[in-house]
Amino acid sequence: MKKKTQTGFDVIIVGGGLVGASLACALASANLNSSLNIAVIENYEFDDTQQPSFDSRTVALSYSSKEIFNSLGLWKAIEDLGACAIKEIHISDRGHLGLSHLRAAEQGADALGFVVENQYLGVALHQRIKTLGNIHLFCPAVVNTFSLNANSAEVEITSKGKRLTLKAKLLVAADGGQSFIREQAKVKTTAVDYKQTAIITNIACDKPHNNIAYERFTDSGPLALLPLNDSVDVNNRYSLVWTLKNNQLEHYLALDDESFLVALQQRFGDRAGNFIKTGKRVSYPLSLMRTQETVRARLAIIGNAAHMVHPVAGQGFNLGLRDVASLAQVIVDAQQQQNDIGDLYYLQQYAAWRQRDLIQTTLTTDSLVRLFTTQFPPVVVARNMALLALDMLPGLKKQIGRQAMGFVGKATKLARGLSL
């Protein structure tokens, strides 16, 4: 990691959150004859307390995401900091008989995924970046303007009172759902407002979670419990993602802790035990968003800047990390062949590669939300019959399990345990 006034790079990444930092690590540590020089532009000071995406929320890493981090040499650090395995997913429909289970053993794996606190991912990524001399940090910094030219992308920034113009072969927008780069480039998006908000907090139960995650569908939206490792002073922890209709949010946020736990118990039931403690509650509005294009000559858009999905299947960050693995592979392959990494021909290969995963994941999450929030009786009957039948259809169940593990379409080198 370097902090100096160099202005010429191979790749400029705008956004140093989880997705942007992961891409920087992937590119900077690639096995190349001549290493790539990477610039990372970030609004916040580059430490684990300032970056908003490194907060106390958690992410459910799919198994393929774990493999990507393992290939980058990051998994041991993440695991040591705290990663709780998901060995079973319990799926149910509140008020109905529909019930099914996905188990890691049925996939021949030790886990379906892992639950990790965002701040731990941030620590592991920062520790790695500090060891990589070809990553140049500009932070805190803001992008003023940028241009995409025939031979380079130019980005004008203000960093610590200084105005600088950076140049690179490729500009990557990894600056989140409110992406400045995407908006200024006038990239069109399609969006759906679910009129739902997720309450996110950590809770504790009176019995062990046994590495079981719960996805319980309710008429207001899905309610997920994700197992967490014990903390210093709290055992039997879960991360809670409780989806509510917007008009319900104020009521549940206003409840004191005891009343909130009672309401949660009534909504979820007692299959996980009795809820005995809750942490600070935060809320996030939920929507579906996709860009109509993810690449242009000299520009690639990844992560939440390119797509946002409902958290129902826990695929948001995983989708972004698969962007990282695919784009990094395309860039490194082009660089190895001494080709122009910002040329539209190579970026279109990346876009085509990602299309199936994006369409399938978006369709799955959107369909689940719509299917399980409707109370139309024939649909309710059909979805519960499908849940009950799933355990009797091992082929279909294995396919759904593979998708939950993040194996969709052509796998990247990193997801297959190979280095770039």
pLDDT tens digits along 66-99: 999 999 999 999 999 999 999 999 888 776 666 7
Mean pLDDT of all residues in 411-416: 92
Amino acid occupying residue 328: A
pTM, rounded to two decimals: 0.90
Q: Which helix (H) or strand (E) is 91 found in, with range?
A: strand 88-93
Mean pLDDT of all residues in 225-233: 87
pLDDT at 61 over 60: yes
How far apart CA 284 and CA 242 sit, in angstroms, is 10
In sequence order, which residues have a C-beta less than 8 Å from that of residue 277 and are 6 or more positions away?
Answer: 203, 204, 234, 257, 261
Residues 214-250, buried b or exposed e (16+ Cβ, 10 A)? bbbbbebbbbbbbbbeeeeeeebbbbbbbbbeeebbe
What is the token pair recorded at 277? 């403690």
Burial class (CB in 10 A: 0-12, 13-18, 19+), 81: middle
Q: What is the mean pLDDT of the chain?
A: 88
Amino acid occupying residue 256: D
End-to-end CA distance of the chain: 20
How far are the Cα atoms of 188, 214, 217, 264, 398 from residue 393, in angstroms, in the given order? Answer: 41, 21, 21, 32, 9
Give me the pLDDT at residue 70, please. Answer: 96
User: Domains in the chain, please, with CATH?
Assistant: 8-83+117-190+287-416 (3.50.50.60), 195-286 (3.30.9.10)
Lowest mean pLDDT among 82-96, 225-239, 392-406: 392-406
Give me the pLDDT at residue 366, please. Answer: 78
How far apart CA 384 and CA 307 sit, in angstroms, is 30
pLDDT at 54 over 70: no
Mean pLDDT of all residues in 143-148: 96
Residue bearing tokens 């000299």: 298
Mean pLDDT of all residues in 182-206: 94
Question: What confidence tier does 376 reach under pLDDT thresholds 50, 70, 90?
Answer: low
Please answer whether residues 7 and 154 qualify as being in contact, where contact means their C-beta atoms are separated by less than 8 angstroms: no
Lowest mean pLDDT among 64-68, 333-337, 383-387, 414-418: 383-387
Sign of CA pseudo-dihedral 280, 205, 245, 366: positive
Give me the pLDDT at residue 18, please. Answer: 95
* pLDDT tens digits, one per residue of 248-304: 999 999 999 999 999 999 999 999 999 999 999 999 999 999 999 999 999 999 999
Between helix 377-390 and helix 394-404 the angle, nearest 10°, is 100
Give me the pLDDT at residue 313, please. Answer: 66
Residue bearing tokens 């908000």: 197
Mean pLDDT of all residues in 172-186: 96
Across the strands, what pairs with 135?
38
Mean pLDDT of all residues in 351-377: 80
